[in-house]
Structure 1
Amino acid sequence: MKTNFLVKLFLLTMLLPAFAGTMRAQTLSNAPVRVAVAGLVHGHSAFILGRKSKTDIVLSGVFDPDAALAQRYAKRYNFDPGIIYTDFDKMLDEVKPEAVLAFGSIFDHLAVVEKCAPRGIHVMVEKPLATTPAAAKKMQDLARKYKIHLLTDYETSWYPAVEKAFQLVKDSNFVGQVRKVVIHDGHQGPKEIGVGPEFFNWLTDPVLNGGGALIDFGCYGANLMTFLMKDEKPISVTAVTQHYKPAIYPKVEDEATIVVNYPSAQCIIQASWNWPFSRKDMEIYGDAGYIVQVDKSAMRIRGRKFPKEQAVQVTDKDIAVYTDPFTYLADVIHGKITVPPHGLYALENNVEVVKILDAARTSAKTGKTIYFKPGK
């Protein structure tokens, strides 16, 4: 009982400052942001189409070239079919959204930014940012030139346990010097979990998605590790991929292990379409302790303050974290919060993610370790 009390007291002390700061920020204007959707073929489009009514955003337009698909989605999610467009430019010019949410293929992200940025329209894409470093660089240049926000959404950015893990590493030096991070992300496979055909077709395409499991789930680990390492660039990337289910996924890998080396730390990213269950977890090891983020709320910690491993539960009532990416987007647009450099949603972070994934893809193809040039 005494140990549990000390754990709770320690965590509460760490939680209060950040929580109070976020509450102050959220007392500012809550005018709704006009948003439009670009594409429906990403299964995560349900995040916005099925979102319960809130006052922070207004869904003003939905674009998809497949009119029949858009009508089915309008019926499924009960939105006004009158806001459906099959011409993207027409939707942008008539609806005049403040922000566009990209739910097409990863390859299509560049085209969305090319249309939105010159119009001064902010963009949020689903992970990862782009399929190639060249596309990511073009998107970055456009966002900077036209001064728009270009954010990348990852489910793990919403997890209270992830936010708490980072806070313990940064603010309390709980683990000391970070030496090794092991990140697991994956599930049974797109077909096995029953994704729709419109999602499956591009998700398993080496051009439209950039790869298979390596891209789909490897991006989470690259995003989290890039944040942990702040401005530090990798020295090298080594990757091995497997193709266990070629009958289901003939064009892309369904298993990947990526090793990202830094001057003082190493990250092992395991991405899979072969696990018997879905998982998104992270282990952070330092020279003073470790943190295991088990799921969105559960953690296990051990360090000098707690020499025996302690189980911890963290929710959004305990720590300041945005559990809804669209609320985050609205607050960024309204200036209520500032995206930190190399933050999980940040453009700088996600350009780096694409570079890591590209190096991993090349490493797996060539069987060689890919070394980064200093400053690149």
Structure 2
Amino acid sequence: MHRLRYMLLFLLLAGPWSEARPQLPERPLRVVVAGVSHGHSSWIYGAKKTGAIEVVGIFEPNRQLAAEFKQRNNLPASLFYTDLEHALDTLKPEGVLAFNATSEHLSVVRACAPRGVHVMVEKPLATTEKDARQIAGLAKRYGIQVLTNYETSWYPTTRKTYQLVHDTGFVGQVRKVIFHTGHSGARRQEHIRFFFDWLTHPVKNGGGASFDFGCYGANIMTYLMQGAAPFAVTAVNRQFKPDIYPRVDDESTVILSYQQAQCIIQASWNWPFNRKDMEVYGVAGSIRAHDHTRLSVRSMQDKAERHLLVTKEDTPVYDNPFEFFAAVVRGLVKPDSYSPYTLENNVLVVKILAAARKSARSGKTVSLKY
């Protein structure tokens, strides 16, 4: 009996694939990079090489930053532009990868949308709900894709958790989800000083740790809830390191209230180590995603958790955001509604983050209206 139950659990955890295996375009997607101030801009040339994209130009108005990026990556000066519209009209790319300040994402989409150029921005989509809705409006009007990239979107455990919640019903009705995201905090070091300056700016970044890492929990929770929105948001932000972050929070706890569930997002620049993990509790079981490949599950019948190794081979995901962007633009894959990269998801993420900011400032719970 025990062996039979284990076999059934194994089949349950294997689950169906609701997406096809990742596909790559036959020819690389021609892209322009819009800004290189983001710390993740190193992924463009530092990540594993992929034939999915070809960088044909880099827009960076800060000449000093452009010169440093050029030297660091041994790039020709001809690749760089100080005017985005000129770069787009000259190079006629198929897509743009935005690695600038979050508050500047709207200006990138404004330049790209009328030209039919698709966009991928680094998380979060915007700093205000108004900007997020303008981006969505432009994307709809001109028929372009605007995707938002999160590291956790590449995690096989993120996809597997969704399958266990929705495709197999392993946990039953979800009641509580807890996210722990962040690290020990950024420092103003020479090689990331431009990134640090806007990351710790209340307007350019929207907030501190609350926006930098709170967006992960809001993004995945929206995915797990299949687009259902919370009816209220309560947040408490703290500033434990005013000497380093004088203008923004470095500690944030956000509670999202749904009709049948609660979500707790703990975003911090004060963890003793890097972490991006989540816990999902339902009426019939639990799931704990420790990182991108390690998962622990427990049903009501189990005396202890079962530990699993989840890989992209058994749970297909695109583990490179540029490959995913290229596949979407070329029509090889259509993102599921409210999956992590989509506009539907990320407009709601910004609405949640903006409500959390308002709640933390007022000390009151914010009711969301739709």
TM-score (norm 2): 0.95
Alpha carbon RMSD of aligned pairs, Å?
2.0
Which stretch of structure 1 is more off in the superposition, 341-350 or 60-69? 60-69
Instruction: Name the structure 1 match of 2:181.
Output: 185
Within the alignment, does 1:350 sit opposite 2:349 as a pair? no
Q: CA deviation at 1:80?
A: 3.2
* Alignment match, 2:285: 289
| Partner in structure 2 of residue 259 of structure 1 | 255
5+ residue gaps, structure 2: none
Match of 1:22 among 20, 23, 26: 20
**CA deviation after TM superposition for structure 1 residue 318, in Å:** 1.9
2:87 paired with 1:88: no
Greater displacement, 255-264 / 159-168: 159-168
Given candidates 154, 166, 172, the residue that maps to 1:170 is: 166
2:331 pairs with one of 329, 335, 355:
335
- Residue number in structure 2 paired with 1:273: 269
Partner of 1:200: 196
Q: For 2:311, which of 310, 315, 323 is the aligned residue?
A: 315
1:350 alignment partner AA: N
- Matches of 1:194 and 1:270 in 2, distance apart? 29
Q: Does the 8 A contact of 2:234 with 2:256 survive in 1?
A: yes
* DSSP 3-state at the match of 2:296: strand
CA distance in 1, matches of 2:304, 2:26: 45
CA contact (8 A) 1:255 1:271 kept: yes
**Corresponding position of 2:45:** 49
One-letter code of the match for 1:265? A
The residue matched to 1:295 in structure 2 has which SS? Answer: coil
* Per-residue CA distance 1:251-292 (angstroms, 9 max, x = gap): 001000000000000000000001110100000000000000
1:155 is aligned to 2:154 = no
1:39 aligns with: 35
Deviation at 1:79, TM superposition (A): 3.3
SS in 2 for 1:22: coil
Question: Partners in 1 of 2:188 and 2:5 — Cα distance?
Answer: 43
| Distance of aligned partners of 1:182 and 1:192 in 2 relative to their CA distance in 1, 3 Å threshold | farther
| Cα distance in 1, alignment partners of residues 155 and 141 from structure 2 | 32
- Aligned counterpart, 2:98: 102
CA distance in structure 1 between the aligned counterparts of 2:91 and 2:3, rounded to whole angstroms: 57
Counterpart of 2:220 in structure 1 is: 224
Q: Secondary structure at the match of 2:244?
A: coil
**For 1:155 and 1:3, how far apart are their aligned partners in 2?**
37
**Where do residues 98-137 of structure 1 align in structure 2 (5 Å cutoff)?**
98-137=94-133
Q: Pick from 50, 55, 60: which aligns with 1:64?
A: 60
CA 1:268–1:94: 2 relative to 1, 3 Å = same
User: What is the deviation of 1:49?
Assistant: 2.6
* SS class of match (1:125): strand
CA distance, structure 2, for counterparts of residue 129 and residue 314 of structure 1: 28
What is the CA–CA distance in structure 1 between the aligned matches of 2:179 and 2:359, rounded to whole Å? 19
1:158 is aligned with what amino acid? W
Name the amino acid aligned to 2:219.
N
Q: Cα–Cα, structure 1 residues 78 and 194, in superposed 2: closer, same or farther, change >3 Å?
A: closer
User: What is the alpha-carbon distance in structure 1 between the residues aligned to residue 9 and residue 100 of structure 2?
Assistant: 44
Range that drifts further, 194-203 or 145-154: 194-203
Q: In the TM superposition, what whole-angstrom CA distance separates every residue of 1:171-210 from its partner, at most 9, and x where no partner exists?
A: 1100000000000101001118987101100000000000
What is the aligned-residue identity percentage?
Answer: 50
Q: Structure 1 residue aligned with 2:241, among 245, 265, 270?
A: 245
Which is further off, 244-253 or 41-50? Answer: 41-50
Letter in 2 for 1:18: W
Question: Which of the numbers 70, 76, 85 marks the counterpart of 1:74?
Answer: 70
After superposition, give the CA deviation of every residue in 1:302-346 in whole Å (9 maximum; x if it has no partner): 014644211111111221111111110111011111011111101
Partner Cα separation in structure 2 for residue 39 and residue 12 of structure 1: 46
2: CA distance between counterparts of 1:235 and 1:22? Answer: 34
- State the AA in 2 paired with 1:116: C
Counterpart-to-counterpart distance in 2, 1:193 and 1:262: 41
Give the drift of 1:5.
11
Structure 2 contact 16–167 (Cα < 8 Å) conserved? no
Moved more, 28-37 or 361-370: 28-37
Equivalent pair of 1:43/1:195 in contact (CA under 8 Å): no
Instruction: Classify the secondary structure of the residue corresponding to 2:49.
Output: coil
**In the alignment, is the contact (CA less than 8 A) between 1:12 and 1:318 conserved in 2?**
no
Deviations 1:23-60 (A, max 9, x none): 3x62x742210011000100011111323432211111
Structure 1 pair 30/240, CA: closer, same or farther in 2 (3 Å)? same
C-alpha distance in structure 1 between counterparts of 2:143 and 2:154, whole Å: 25
